[in-house]
């Protein structure tokens, strides 16, 4: 169980780091067009997250299969559900730390800081703080249930 808890905490750290990094990136990008000219930064971020979540899912699979001695089918199902819960947990920390970082760099931007939400985002999905909180709670409950049943 400790390995799955560590995996959960690593995902929170990753989401938080991504939020801070993107907050700094888009702050600089708004003030300089030289950072990533002619490219979509969102694609780069999706590739990075895909690599991270692939490794995280493989780690969960190995832990479930070899530490908990689950059969292959259950290992696939549980690691897939862990991936789903990671997707649900991600926006709460990523977006919150994004707004926090943007506010740190420019006090007039996102005055509610972690609790704020964007009205100008170009992201595919934009959630209010309460929506992020509800999705986070759902993802955490799913993660806990998985840990209890593995």
For residues 57 and 51, is the Cβ–Cβ distance under 8 A? Answer: no
pLDDT tier, 1 (very low <50, low <70, confident <90, very high otherwise): confident
For residues 93 and 19, is the Cβ–Cβ distance under 8 A? Answer: yes
- Predicted TM-score (pTM) of the model is 0.86
98: domain range? Answer: 2-31+40-149
Helix (H, G, I), strand (E, B) or coil at 25: helix
pLDDT tier, 33 (very low <50, low <70, confident <90, very high otherwise): very low
Task: Give CA–CA dist 28/97, Å, rounded.
Answer: 16
- Please tell me the total count of domains within the chain: 1
Percent of the chain residues topping a pLDDT of 90: 61
For residues 122 and 47, is the Cβ–Cβ distance under 8 A? Answer: no
Closest CA to 99 of 43, 20, 46, 31: 20
Question: Containing H/E element for 15?
Answer: helix 2-31
Percent of the chain residues topping a pLDDT of 70: 89
């Amino acid at each position: 169980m400790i390995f799955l808890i560590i995996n959960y905490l690593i995902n929170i750290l990753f989401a938080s780091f991504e939020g801070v990094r993107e907050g700094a990136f888009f702050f600089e990008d708004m003030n300089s067009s030289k950072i990533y000219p002619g490219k979509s930064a969102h694609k780069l971020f999706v590739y990075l997250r895909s690599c991270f979540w692939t490794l995280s899912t493989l780690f969960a699979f190995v832990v479930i299969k070899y530490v908990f001695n689950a059969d292959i089918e259950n290992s696939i199902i549980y690691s897939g559900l862990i991936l789903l819960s990671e997707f649900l947990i991600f926006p709460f920390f990523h977006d919150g730390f994004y707004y926090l970082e943007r506010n740190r760099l420019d006090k007039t931007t996102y005055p509610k800081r972690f609790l704020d939400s964007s009205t100008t985002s170009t992201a595919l999905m934009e959630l209010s703080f309460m929506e992020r909180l509800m999705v986070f709670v759902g993802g955490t409950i799913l993660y806990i249930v998985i840990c209890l049943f593995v």
